[in-house]
Every structure is written in structure tokens, then in C-alpha cells.
Amino acid sequence: MTWTDLGARADRVREGLRALPPRAVDTGLAALVAAAQLWPFAARADEGGGSWSGWGVLVVLGSAAPLYWRRDHPVPVLMVSLAAISSYDYVGEVPSQPVWYAALVAMYTVAERSGRWARITVVATTVLGSFALASSESGLRMSVLCVAGYALGRAAAAGRAHTERLEHERRAEAEKAALAERARIARDMHDILSHAVSLMVVQAEAGPVVLAKDPVRAERAFDAIAGAGRDAMVQLRGILEVLDPDRAPQAERAPQPALADLPLLAAGSGLTVACTRTDGSGATVDYPRPDGAGLPPLAPHVETAAFRIAQEALTNIVRHAGTDRARLHLHWQEDRGIVQLDITDDGPATGQRPARLLPSGGRGLINIRERARACGGTAECGPRTDGPGFRVRARLPLLPPS
């Protein structure tokens, strides 16, 4: 049997003992101490040929029996055990043996469970009493053993406190992770529903207007409503599947939206969106480029954050800007290790529709900032300083060069 096997077996024994009821453990401990100290009474006879004193047996039992209450009353149990032990040599003919086992267990319990001043008082009293009631050699031995029992008790108390602290921290981390996950799901649901509902409202308003004049355009509007509803249902189903423990593994494998999906997002927003990007050479081109030129790498969660930020910004334009046009621009700044995402509008202009006063969840801009911050970036939202309209600017980290 290897040391690993012995260690595993010892761990199983400890786990089994911890699973026992405390009273059963204390009863067994008291019985074990009593049996160990009574064994000399049965194992050898009195040196004079007579029987050992029955008072000695009662003293041994009197020192061990209080261990049954050691958890509830550690200091009184130690005092009773010490009083019984100190009278052992004065009750008649008894075997020559140490009868300190019960006191050591009681001292261990005092050190593990009592308050600071109670512990200090008990240790000082015990050590001084050992020298006063016994010979110098016996007193020294008893003092050393009491200090050893106290040290073991303090080590056990420290270990238990450390375990409890780790468990508390584990629970706190689990609660923190659960809150973060709930916040993430809430943001996703807000973005999906807000975008889909806003698009459906825009198309529903346009449908009756063009129904008589341009049936083809009206048909496209109703198709857009149906498409927005289906897309929202698919995305919501994916989120809800994550909450189902039986289906979460399949849901986690579902692809997440990325930067490559931004043109599709813009096309389905109900706005006329100019999508451009500035690459590492400084050239501004349509996004995506027809030649499919490679882009600096982004982590998957950063790409998803960029998509959701753009989605929320376009939704806000649909809801509140009073314009049918917007611009979406990506600027890779490899020297700074970031990609900058700008979504802007020019505000309402003559001949354009008035701003729609659609209901707002009140968390759109907050979600944008939280998404950027969650992946190590920043986001700024506010009126443009270079003209009318509104700007959402997010700076998100690029992957470091490999």
C-alpha cells in the first residue's frame, strides 16, 4: 500500500467521523479514555496481592465521564476532570499510571471553543496548579502536556475558522457570479426585445402609409416585422435555454453575434446606415470590405459586446433621433491596442420624420457602458460636439499580438 493510498484512507476515515453526530463522538471519546485508564486495573494485580481500590476506578470514571458535555461546557468539564485526576494518588492502592488523558482532551476543547480570556485563565491556572499539587517532575510533565493540548486545540480552531472563511468567500463569489450572469441575461434580453420591438413599430407605421401607393414596399415592411419577430424569438430561446440546466450545454454552443454581423444588423434596423471602417493603414472603406481582408483579432466576448453596443445605439436612433439615417464606423487603432466603434446620427432635419416617443426601458445607455466596461473597454454617450445629433463611442481592446 502506497502513501497515497494511506492518505486517501485517512481522509475517508476523517470524513466518516465528521459525519457522526457530535454526541455519539463525545460518548465514544469518553468511553475510550475510560477504557484506556481502567485497563491497568484489570491487566495487573496489586503489588501486595490484594485488589485495587474501588475509589480509583470511580476517580477514573469521574475524570472521563464529563467529556460527554465537553462541547457545551468546556471549562467546567476541564475543572471536574482536573479535580478528579488530582485525587487519584490519594484514594488508596491504585495502579501507577498517567491519568491525564481526560484533562488533555478537555484542555483541547477549551482551546478550540472558549473565548480568549477564558483560555488564558484556564491555561495559567492549570500550569500553576500542576506544580502546586504534584512533584516538580510530574508538574513539569503535566504542564507540557497541557500546553500541547492547548496548542492542538488552537490549531484546530484556526483550521475551522479558515475553512469557514473559505466557504464564506466561495458562497460570496458564487453569489457575485450569479448576479453578474443575471445582469448579463437582463442586458441581452433588453437589447434583443428593444431592438426587435422598435423595428417592428417603425415598419408597422410605414406599412399603412405605403400600402396603397407602393404595395411592394408595404410587403417588405410586413416581411421585416415578421423577420424581426422571428429573430427575437430565436435569440430569446437561446437565452432561456441557458437557464435550463438540461439544455444549457447545447445552448452554450450556439454562435454569438460578432463584428461580421454588423452590416446585417444595420440592414435590418429600418434605418439607412452607412457602414465604414478604418483599417491599420488609415484607409476608410466600406464595411465589410469586398476582398475580405483580414482584421486585427478580437476576443469573442469583445466582438459580442461590440455587436450589442451597436444594436442598442441603432435602437436608440430608431426610438428617439427623429431621423432615418445613421453612420456606423469601426476604427482599428493597433498602436493603442483598441478598436473604436462610433454610431452617430445627425438628429431630425426638415422633411424627415419626427422623433418617435417610444417607451424606453431606461437602461440602454447604462447597458452600453456596462458592456464596454465588462470586456475592459470604455464607452461614451452624448450629444455630438461637431454638430447636431447623438454619438455613441466605444473603445474595446484588441487581442495582444501573439
Rounded CA-CA distance 400/302 in Å is 13
> What pLDDT score does 401 carry?
60
Domain ends where: 79, 106, 134?
134
Rounded CA-CA distance 9/14 in Å is 9
> What pLDDT score does 397 carry?
92
| pLDDT surpassing 60 at residue 2 | yes
- Those residues with Cβ within 8 angstroms of residue 139's Cβ, 6 or more apart along the chain or in another chain: 130, 131, 132, 133
Quick check: is 21 in a domain?
yes
SS3 193: helix
Q: Give the other-Cβ count within 10 Å of 397's Cβ.
A: 17
The region of weakest confidence among 159-168, 223-232, 319-328 is 223-232
pTM: 0.52
Report the domain count for the chain: 2
Mean pLDDT calculated for residue range 292-320: 81
Q: In angstroms, what CA-CA distances link 83 with 99, 214, 300?
A: 12, 106, 72
SS3 283: coil
Quick check: is 181 in a domain?
no
Quick check: is 249 in a domain?
no
What cell numbers appear for 231 in the block? Answer: 429573430
What order of strands is seen across the sheet that includes strand 378-383?
284-286, 272-278, 325-333, 338-344, 390-397, 378-383
**What string of DSSP letters covers 290-328?**
TT--------HHHHHHHHHHHHHHHHHIIIII--SEEEE
Instruction: Report the DSSP beta bridge partners of residue 391.
Output: 344, 382
Mean pLDDT calculated for residue range 287-311: 76
211, HSE (Cβ side, Cα atoms, 13 Å): 8
Quick check: is 165 in a domain?
no
What cell numbers appear for 361 in the block? Answer: 426601458
Domain ends where: 134, 162, 186?
134
Per residue in 99-151, pLDDT (tens digit) is 888 888 888 888 888 888 888 887 777 777 666 655 555 666 777 777 888 88
Quick check: is 216 in a domain?
no
**Contact yes or no for 225/204 (Cβ under 8 A):** yes
Share of the chain above pLDDT 90, in %: 7
Quick check: is 299 in a domain?
yes
Chain-centre distance for alpha carbon 94: 60
Per residue in 173-222, pLDDT (tens digit) is 988 888 887 877 777 777 777 777 777 776 676 667 666 677 766 676 67
Same-domain pairing of 394 and 261: yes
Domain ends where: 116, 134, 152?
134
Q: Does 49 or 193 have the greater pLDDT score?
A: 193
Quick check: is 336 in a domain?
yes
Name the residue range of residue 31's domain. Answer: 3-134
> 297 pLDDT band (50/70/90 cuts)?
confident
**What string of DSSP letters covers 35-69?**
HHHHHHHHHS--TTSSPPPHHHHHHHHHHHGGGGG
